[in-house]
Amino acid sequence: MTEFEKNRGKLRQTAFETNAGGLNQPLRPLSDPTFELWHFALSRGAYDQVFKEKNKALQSANRDLRLKMYEPHGFSAEELRAHVAKVGHEYGWDRRGLFQPANEPYLQAIINEPQSRLYVFERRENGHREDIGFCFVTGIPPLERPYTDDHVEAPGLASLEAVNMFKATQRLEAAAVPIEINKIGLYPEYTNRGIGNFYLAKMLEILFEREGFNIVYLNSRDTNHRGIESFYRKNGIEIFHRETLPSDLVPNAPSQAPIIHSGDRRYINGDTEHHASTPANDHRDPL
């Protein structure tokens, strides 16, 4: 048996055990007074060496998945909050300070930043189109955005501090340009099918190859899907720092119904629409 086959078997066993424990359940209950924040990153060098060809191999044959990008700043805070609520309600995404309706001006200001983009994941089948998830990309701001404060900002390391830590541990040039995957996910009815591998691979391709960034940074929590750490690791994105922090969820946050209007989208046409197949894999991934 090859090393690849051994590792694949381990991944499948891990996925089976995770499923037996409640596949979509968070690792840590949202009611806990603390959570663990995980900082992930991938450098362009590591992507080129190991994952570039793997990611391209994922995109083949059947053309039922698409990725579309809004025009820069062509979406509202309300639209973004709807995606956030639909993907992450079970994990408390819509209970975080930034995504409260009262803080919409702060969120809209972030949306209006030059590097902010919203990508929508779409599935087409038998002539029918449906959105199945999204990715919100933001630039790495200074240590504090001038228009946010403590009731909006998440606790822990600022993105810039985390990226600088990653640069130091990987001995990357100080001038290496980072970008942040702020939020990414599939709607609950499309998780655990393996198609998240394609969308993450496509986002890495866009950010590294098309946009020319040197580092892709993101963070996650142990209150998210219990398979999220292994999912990112399998796709080449490793944790480089962990923090235990007090819960920042807004108590008694109003329910945010995920109503997403699809009829009036302002998409960029042309090669920003990407096609790929549904990957034939173990279908156990959280995305």
Residues in the chain: 287
pLDDT at 120 over 70: yes
Read off the pLDDT of residues 74-83 as tens digits, 9 standing for 90 and up.
889 999 999 9
In this prediction, residue 271 has a pLDDT band, given cuts at 50, 70 and 90, of very low
pLDDT at 45 over 70: yes
HSE at residue 173, side-chain half, CA atoms within 13 A, is 7
DSSP state at residue 74: -
CA distance 162 to 143: 10
Residues 173-198: what's their mean pLDDT? 93
Structure tokens at 66: 């698409």
- DSSP track, 1-52: --HHHHHHHHHHHHHHHHHHTTTTSBSS-TTSSEEEEEEEEEEHHHIIIIIH
Task: Determine what percent of the chain falls in helix, strand and coil, rounding each to the nearest 5.
Answer: 35, 25, 40
- Specify the pLDDT at position 23: 57
Contact 176, 208 (CB under 8 A): no
In this prediction, residue 194 has a pLDDT band, given cuts at 50, 70 and 90, of confident
In this prediction, residue 24 has a pLDDT band, given cuts at 50, 70 and 90, of low
Structure tokens at 168: 């130091």
Comparing 287 with 44, which gets the higher pLDDT?
44
CA distance 209 to 203: 10
- CATH for 36-276, among 3.40.630.30, 3.20.20.10, 3.40.50.2300, 3.30.2320.80? 3.40.630.30
- Domain boundaries, given as residue ranges, for the chain: 36-276
pLDDT at 240 over 70: yes
Residue for token digits 């933001």? 138
- Mean pLDDT (the chain) is 80
Whole-structure pTM value: 0.81
pLDDT at 270 over 80: no
Contact 85, 257 (CB under 8 A): yes
pLDDT at 148 over 60: yes
Residue for token digits 């819509």? 94
DSSP H helix total and E strand total for the chain: 8, 8
Strand, helix or coil for residue 262: coil
Comparing 88 with 287, which gets the higher pLDDT?
88
Per DSSP bridges, beta strands 34-43 and 215-221 are: antiparallel
